[in-house]
Amino acid sequence: MEPTKPTPAQALRSFSLMTLGSALVSVGVYFFKFPNHFSMGGVSGLSILLGQLIPSHLVTPATINTVITLLFLILGFLVLDKSFGLKTVYCSLLYSGLIQLFESLLPLSHPLTDQKMLELFFAVILPALGAAILFNMDASTGGTDIMAMILKKYSGMDVGRALLISDVLIASSALLVFDIETGLFAMLGLSLKSVLVDSVIESLNRNKSFTVVTHDPERVCRYINNTLHRGATVWKGQGAYTGQEQYVILTALSRHQAVSLRNYLKQNEPHAFMLITNSSEIFGKGFLRA
């Protein structure tokens, strides 16, 4: 069965989200990572180190970042062929292009503020949020993600561990290339980033698995189907203590729909038993695609 083509509205939404995600990463990298030398791994971190080591005013971290990103794109085209996503191509070009544009229009000779910890938070939060948005769209800004795809295709290497080791090496190199304070900030930023990206991804995808035990399944299902426009599964059960016949309803809802159903049950089925569980991975119609 061929996958259905996205509607124009869906395509526009995807395009807008990819643009937003790439822009957030670009802003975080250029305005907060580069001027503070926060080399927290990845292509941007490597660019910061090389920009310091190469004695030339023409070779800036932004330029090095663009060159490395383009080299990875070319490598992806040559090695990955059709498995190399067009979404990643668009996001990689937009990401590096925006950084070059920022450097041309808004050159920075020093950090925006003198609050290094504050800038570290923005250097972590903005790229993490952007990366999470792109992850949900099956896209990325390329760079080491492309290398991960290549390693996954041609080796049995634990790609996640390999990338983590490379990020740690890049971040710790700031101790030698810059100074102890900058190196420690880079290591702290890497630690925060590794935790925050997963948290943001989970938060963006968070929905509710809603289980209801009731004597009147028809009323509850009617509300779920007609008001919330969601599906549900019903099966018969029996109370372990009372032995009475019960009906168990399982449905998956967004957060605001779960609140609506909870309030409805409190008013109309006060004796119903509710079990509401957070879930960031619900696959099927109306949720994530498997």
Query: Does 245 share its domain with 217?
Result: yes
Query: Does 25 share its domain with 112?
Result: yes
Note whether residue 74 is domain-resident.
yes
**End residue of a domain, out of 204, 236, 253:** 204
What is the greatest pairwise CA distance in the chain? 81
Decide if 75 contacts 148 (C-beta within 8 A). no
pLDDT recorded at residue 204: 66
Query: Does 218 share its domain with 185?
Result: no
CA–CA gap between residue 234 and residue 250 (Å, rounded) = 7
pLDDT recorded at residue 290: 47
Rounded average pLDDT per 10-residue block, the chain, 290 residues: 64 89 94 93 90 83 91 81 73 92 92 93 91 81 75 66 81 91 92 78 75 90 91 88 88 87 89 84 62
**End residue of a domain, out of 204, 221, 253:** 204
- Structure tokens given for 181: 């304070």
CATH number, domain with residue 211: 3.30.70.120
pLDDT recorded at residue 1: 41
This prediction has a pTM of 0.74
CA-based nearest residue to 86, from 127, 142, 13: 142
Query: Does 124 share its domain with 179?
Result: yes
Query: Does 61 share its domain with 91?
Result: yes
**End residue of a domain, out of 172, 204, 236:** 204
Query: Does 74 share its domain with 59?
Result: yes
Query: Does 112 share its domain with 35?
Result: yes
Q: Could you report how far apart the first and last alpha carbons of the chain are, in Å?
A: 14
- Find the length of the chain: 290
Note whether residue 289 is domain-resident.
no
Note whether residue 80 is domain-resident.
yes
Domain housing 245? 207-279
CA–CA gap between residue 28 and residue 21 (Å, rounded) = 11
Query: Does 66 share its domain with 135?
Result: yes
- Structure tokens given for 52: 């310091």
Decide if 213 contacts 273 (C-beta within 8 A). yes
- Structure tokens given for 271: 């004796």
Note whether residue 284 is domain-resident.
no
Note whether residue 3 is domain-resident.
no
Tally of structural domains, the chain: 2
Query: Does 151 share its domain with 33?
Result: yes
